[in-house]
Structure formats: C-alpha cells, structure tokens
Structure 1
Amino acid sequence: MRFSHGFADAYGRRVTPELLSTAAGFGLGLSLIVAIGAQNAFVLRQGLRRHRVGAVVLVCVLSDAALIAAGVAGAGAVVRTRPEVLDAVRIAGAAFLTVYGLMAAHRAARPQALAPQPGTTPPSVMATIATALALTWLNPHVYLDTVVLLGSIAQSHPGRQWWFAAGAVAGSTLWFTALGYGAALLRPLFSAPRAWRVLDASIAVVMLSLAASLVLATV
C-alpha cells in the first residue's frame, strides 16, 4: 500500500495523512462506544461473572466492524431515507430491553439470585451470543452512531475512509476487550451480594430508560 508523504511532528517523526485518519476514527469511535448503554452493561456483567466473555466481546467487536464498514460504504444514506426501518428496530428493541430490564430488576429484588449460585446451570453459549446480538442490533442508536455518524464523518477523509474505519474498529476492539476482561479486577468488590444488587438495579434502570426513550421516539 502506498502512503502519502505527510509531515513531521515536533520530534521529527513522519506523520502520514493515513495515520491521522486512523487516529481520528479511533478517537471518535471510542468516544461513541464508551457511553453507558445496554450493550456495555451486558459486557460488564458477563465480565464480572467470567461467563462467555470471549464470545460476547467477539460478537460486539464484529458487529461494530460490520456496521462501521456499512456506514463507510454508504449505507448511512439508506438508513436516513428509510425511517420506517428504524421505527421497526425501535419497537423490537424497546420490547427486548423491557424484558431484559425487568429480569435485572427481579434479580436485584431477590438477594438469593444476585450472585451466581454454585450448582446452577449458566446460559448456553448460543443463548449468550443471541443476547449480545439482540442488545447490539436491536438498538437504533447503534445505527445512528456507526452507520450514519461515523459513515458520514469518514467521507471527510477522502481517499482515506477505510483508514478512518480501521481506527474506529480498533477503538471498539480496545474498549470491549478492556471492559469484558478488565471487569475481573472488580470481582473483589462484587463478593458481597449488595454489590450485585446495586449492579442489577443499575442495569434495570439503564435498560428500562432506554426502552422508554425508544417508545417515545416512535410516537
């Protein structure tokens, strides 16, 4: 691959336009993904439980990569001109988030259900992947952030859109890997049932609030 000449930084190191576009995509992608939401709450809980963390992280990273690539390829224009598609996603997403939020509220209300109990059968890998996919693809904000916003901003880097996309995917990979595997560092804090109650109550609030915002957006 041929690089453009670029310029030197204060230390005399050469900085190419491709590197600048990659850095811009990395920064913007990371800033959009770090925001608290349903997807991050699920990854955090899986990381704390050390349950199917690799599968969940992989689903989130690959989903973001596919959505970012679609946005850079021009799918954002389709999303903007077909509001009925987003409305359908909003309704399905609101229903799913409501159920998931009520499940989290139920766990928070029952002390015996807060922390994983010995002898209980955890959800299968397919069920875990299905949940991660639903929390990602049934969230219309994901399409607006990745397909529309990132896709549009990538066009401001003519000839280097895919460098921008690579940076955004790198930011997504870094965040979900750090969140999923870094959550293990908080496990001592969650040795007490009260901590699990606070976590699940917070997840319930996030999920139900997002569900309400999606319903209100369609009326």
Structure 2
Amino acid sequence: MLVLLAGFGLGLSLILAIGAQNAFVLRQGVRREHVGVVVLVCAASDAVLYAAGGAGLGALVERNPVIVDVARWAGAAVVLGYGALAARRALRGEEGLRVATDGASGDEGRRLRPVLLTALALTWLNPHVYLDTVVLQGSVAATYGDDRWLFSAGAVLSSIVWFTALGYGARLLAPVLRRPGAWRVVDGVIAVIMVAVAVSLVAGA
C-alpha cells in the first residue's frame, strides 16, 4: 500500500502543473464537449507511458535524444497552433458559452475527430511527458525492485483521478462563465499558457 501511495504521490506531483494538456482538458470539461473521450485518452496515454517507464524504457529514451527532439518541435508547433486559435476566440469573442451553460451535449459541439486528435497531439507530442513519465517515474520505480509495477500502478491511478476530476469537475465553473466576456478571459489565459509552453519547448532545444 505504501508503494502504491508513493507512486500515486509522484504521479500527482508531475501532473498538477497547469500545462497545455491540462488547459485543454479543463476547457473541454467546462464546455461539456466529449469529456469522457478526452479523459480516457489522457489517462490511457499516461498508463502506457508509466508502464513503459516501469519496464525500463527510460534508458532507451535517454540514449536516443532524437525521440525527444522530434516530439519537442512537433509539440511546439501543435501547442502554438492551438494557442493561436484560443487567442483568436478571445479577440473575436466567439460564442462557446452555449455548450457550457445550456447543458448541451458534446454531440452538439465540435465533432469528435478534431477533439480526439488535439488530445492525442497535446499528450504525445509533448517531450516533457516522456521525461516525466518514462524517464523520471521509470527511474524511481526501478528503485522499488519487484514492486516497481505497484509503484507504476499508483502513478497510473493518479492520472485517472486527476483527469476525471479536472474534466468532470470543470463544469462547476459554468455559472461563472455565464457572465459576459468570461469565455474571452478563459481563452485568453489558455492562449498565454499555450504560447508559454511552446516557447519553453523551443528554448529547451
């Protein structure tokens, strides 16, 4: 149980930072738009990566930095593009509030495919996710010997709990977002976060 909790604590500490992925999940949650799919993609992706770390693939990533470099530049492009879209929505005041406040289902919002592709891109094209889940978590898990899979299971559980809470708990913000201009503020903040993430990715090259 202590090993499981240790993995849960490390996983939670790695995922709490507000980054591109969390900002996207939060926005989808507030809009109630394909939330289940987004949560599933993010949590399942983390599960695969944590399993890879537990299997010792962190050493492979460290020996092949080109993997991280490719993800870095591709991720920067995707994040910057999403940030530009958020900035445009903020400047133009595009109406996205209807989905969040009128109780509309995700089927009435954007189609599933672009949402799914965005969730996958913001997850798998982020080099930090490999460093955090595969390398860092994998290295710590290795210190637990035969219990490394239990440690990794704790990290996977932290992702499930976090993304579920973020995605489905975000709808509690809907009453606040009924105010005029509130969505413009949200999209403005998301744009700033996305641009900052893209700059940090390029700066780390």
Q: Shorter-chain TM-score: what band?
A: over 0.9
**Does 2:94 correspond to 1:112?**
yes
Q: In the alignment, is the contact (CA less than 8 A) between 2:56 and 2:142 conserved in 1?
A: no
The one-letter code matched in structure 1 to 2:64 is R
Q: 1:91, 1:183 → 2: CA distance?
A: 30
Structure-to-structure mapping, 1:51-200, within 5 angstroms:
51-116=33-98, 122-200=109-187
Q: In the alignment, is the contact (CA less than 8 A) between 2:90 and 2:188 conserved in 1?
A: yes
- Runs of 5+ in structure 2 lacking a partner? none
The one-letter code matched in structure 2 to 1:26 is F
Q: 1:98, 1:171 → 2: CA distance?
A: 28
Q: 1:112, 1:127 → 2: CA distance?
A: 18
CA-atom RMSD, angstroms?
1.7
Instruction: Number of aligned residue pairs: give it.
Output: 200
Q: 1:86, 1:112 → 2: CA distance?
A: 35
Change beyond 3 A, Cα 1:150–1:83:
same
- In the TM superposition, what is the alpha-carbon distance from 1:215 to its structure 2 partner? 1.2
State TM-score, norm by structure 1.
Answer: 0.87
Q: 1:173, 1:85 → 2: CA distance?
A: 26
The one-letter code matched in structure 2 to 1:35 is A
Q: In the alignment, is the contact (CA less than 8 A) between 1:47 and 1:180 conserved in 2?
A: yes
The one-letter code matched in structure 2 to 1:91 is W
Q: 1:96, 1:137 → 2: CA distance?
A: 11
| Matched residue, 2:2 | 20
- 2:97 is paired with a residue whose SS is coil
Q: 1:193, 1:104 → 2: CA distance?
A: 17
The one-letter code matched in structure 1 to 2:56 is G
Q: 1:56, 1:193 → 2: CA distance?
A: 27
211, 214, 217: which one aligns with 2:198? 211
- 1:193 is paired with a residue whose SS is coil
Q: 1:93, 1:25 → 2: CA distance?
A: 27
- In the TM superposition, what is the alpha-carbon distance from 1:121 to its structure 2 partner? 5.9
- The percent of aligned pairs where both chains have the same amino acid is 57
Q: 1:132, 1:110 → 2: CA distance?
A: 24
Q: 1:187, 1:134 → 2: CA distance?
A: 26
The one-letter code matched in structure 1 to 2:76 is A
Q: In the alignment, is the contact (CA less than 8 A) between 2:31 and 2:96 conserved in 1?
A: no
- Runs of 5+ in structure 1 lacking a partner? 1-18
Q: 1:41, 1:148 → 2: CA distance?
A: 24
